[in-house]
Amino acid sequence: MNILCGTDFSPNAADAVQTAAGLARRFNDTLELLHATLPPADEGLPPEVWLPVEGVLRQQLESLRDSLANAGTRVKAEVELGTPAEVLRRRAKPGSTRLLVVASIGRVGLARVLLGSTADRVAESAAVPTLVVRNSLPFRDWFDGRRPLRVLVAVDFSDSSEAALGFAREFTQAGACELIAGYVAHVDEVTEGSSPSQREAELREKVAAQLQPHRFELAVAPAGQTASEGLIELAKEHRADVIVTGAHQHRGLARIWHQSTSRSLLADAPTSVLVVPTQARSLARNVIPPLSRVLVTTDLSPLGNQAIPAACALLSRGGVLRILHVAAPVEGAFSFLRGRSRRPVLSPGEHHQLVQHARRKLGSLIPAEALQRHITHEVVVVVSGDVAETIDQQARQFGAHVICLASHGQGAALSMLFGSVAQQVIAQSTRPVHVVRSRR
């Protein structure tokens, strides 16, 4: 494996290089030192002027390489033509590049104000984990064995949290670390049948399973903050040296419309930030993705209930199954053309009894064999008029690896008019969806 580091020879870049070199020695990796520069034509320089400039750049890079090699680092260095962000993204290859290291601010100018720094753009688009170094002193103390590295990992029930925890484990392989799992609850995470204390207990269990046997502290940010604001406050409170966060890397115009915790941390965090792309963690090392958390939903029909044993079959031994039923609102009576009735079919009291009955019914549907395989289950009933959106929301909150549901296979005409719940879930969810079909 190698650690890739870009440098523009600025003081900030020098700190990033020393941090990358120390990590390379700790991981026993090769340091790839890279300086990217625009082609002579883009700089407006004739060849007779460019060649001496290129010679000076190579001489600077080779001098830096030799000093690192004398300190015990396996290192190779190269000057490559292109913009820094483009070159670093191209050279960072999943499976061979363990980590990309850049400085938080190099040479600044109008382009950074308008487009963001090179570090921001690289961290949000590179296919490998990217460490943006703001302060190299904690890393130097760690390399010299003076103290452990304090690592704050952004955790929740999403797959990006698993990516962040995966790299936090790699830090523990390089030296002593104090791990803090930082959790910022989302406003929409309060669901019927799941209290905040239960959510924290579930999260602690999930984090422990991924970090085992390493100890960690669970830190919970006060409600009412964005994820980035809460994580920054936790980093200050616990004196974290680096914040590790997973990231769904939206490209193009999607970056404008999607809120990004990693982007906000890169802009505002006072400490170094390590961004781990969600998909790259499994693709880079041919890791078999776990199936330890499955969300199954049923409308309590015979076919809908068949999805529950199918979901148990997907789960690995010791997995967690969340059984979801989405109940219609109290006023939610519909005609064939989905027109809302003028009066409720059930009174509020009758509706409450119906919801309680659904919860008891769901608990009785778990197969006995699931207990023998040590599969634990939880039951959630949510009152909502949008079934597909609720399923997707619950899957994100639960951190489901797979969504399992049944499809009634309604005819082509009805499907064209209304669309099935299964079709809507498949269309909007980023998770795999396992569909159980009717055996007609």
pLDDT digits (tens, 9 = 90+) for 74-96: 999 888 888 888 888 888 888 88
For 250: left if phi > 0, alpha if psi spans -120 to 50, otherwise beta; the answer is: beta
Confidence at residue 249, expressed as pLDDT on a 0 to 100 scale = 52
Q: Are 364 and 303 in contact (CB under 8 A)?
A: no
1-124: CATH architecture: 3-Layer(aba) Sandwich (3.40)
Residue with tokens 């290291």: 101
Q: Are 210 and 193 in contact (CB under 8 A)?
A: no
Q: Which CATH number fits the domain 293-437, given the four candidates 3.40.50.620, 3.30.465.10, 3.60.130.10, 3.30.930.10?
A: 3.40.50.620
Radius of gyration of the chain (CA): 26
The pair phi, psi for residue 259, each rounded to 5°, is -65, 140
Confidence at residue 251, expressed as pLDDT on a 0 to 100 scale = 46
Q: What is the mean pLDDT of the chain?
A: 79
Q: For residues 368 and 359, what is the distance between their CA atoms, to the nearest angstrom? A: 18
Structure tokens at 15: 């700190």
Q: Are 308 and 301 in contact (CB under 8 A)?
A: no
- SS3 for the chain is CEEEEECCCCHHHHHHHHHHHHHHHHHCCEEEEEEEECCHHHHCCCHHHHHHHHHHHHHHHHHHHHHHHHCCCCEEEEEEECCHHHHHHHHCCCCCEEEEEEECCCCCCHHHHHHCCHHHHHHCCCCCCEEEECCCHHHHHHHCCCCCEEEEEEECCCHHHHHHHHHHHHHHHHCCEEEEEEECCCHHHCECCECHHHHHHHHHHHHHHHHCCCCEEEEECCCCCCHHHHHHHHHHHCCCCEEEEEECCCCCCHHHHCCCHHHHHHHHCCCEEEEEEHHHHHHCCCCCCCCCEEEEECCCCHHHHHHHHHHHHHCCCCCEEEEEEEECCCCCCECCCCCECCCCCCCHHHHHHHHHHHHHHHHCCCCHHHHHCCCEEEEEEEECCCHHHHHHHHHHHHCCCEEEEEECCCCHHHHHHHCCHHHHHHHHCCCCEEEEECCC
Confidence at residue 189, expressed as pLDDT on a 0 to 100 scale = 47
134-289: CATH architecture: 3-Layer(aba) Sandwich (3.40)
pTM greater than 0.85: no
Q: Bridge-partner residues for 434, per DSSP?
A: 404
Nearest to 333, CA basis, from 347, 319, 352, 318: 347
Is it true that 1-124 and 134-289 share their CATH fold?
Answer: yes
Q: Are 263 and 223 in contact (CB under 8 A)?
A: no
- Where do the structural domains in the chain lie, given as residue ranges? 1-124, 134-289, 293-437
The pair phi, psi for residue 433, each rounded to 5°, is -120, 120
Confidence at residue 329, expressed as pLDDT on a 0 to 100 scale = 82
> Which residues of the chain fall below pLDDT 50?
106-116, 188-193, 250-259, 282-286, 333-341, 411-418
Bridge pairing between strands 75-81 and 272-277: unpaired
- For 197-240, write each residue's pLDDT tens digit: 777 887 888 888 788 788 999 999 887 788 889 999 999 999 99
Rounded to a whole number of angstroms, the distance between the first and last alpha carbons of the chain is 53
- For 152-172, write each residue's pLDDT tens digit: 999 887 778 888 888 888 888
Residue with tokens 């487009």: 115
Residue 86: CB atoms within 10 A of its CB come to: 16
In Å, what is the CA distance from 192 to each residue of 90, 125, 195, 231, 326? 47, 37, 8, 26, 11
The pair phi, psi for residue 409, each rounded to 5°, is 60, 45
Q: For residues 14 and 186, what is the distance between their CA atoms, to the nearest angstrom? A: 38
Q: Which residues of 115-151 are buried (b: 16+ CB within 10 A; e: fewer)?
A: ebbbbbbbbbbbbbbbbbbbebebbeebbeeeebbbb
Residue 39: CB atoms within 10 A of its CB come to: 10
Confidence at residue 74, expressed as pLDDT on a 0 to 100 scale = 93
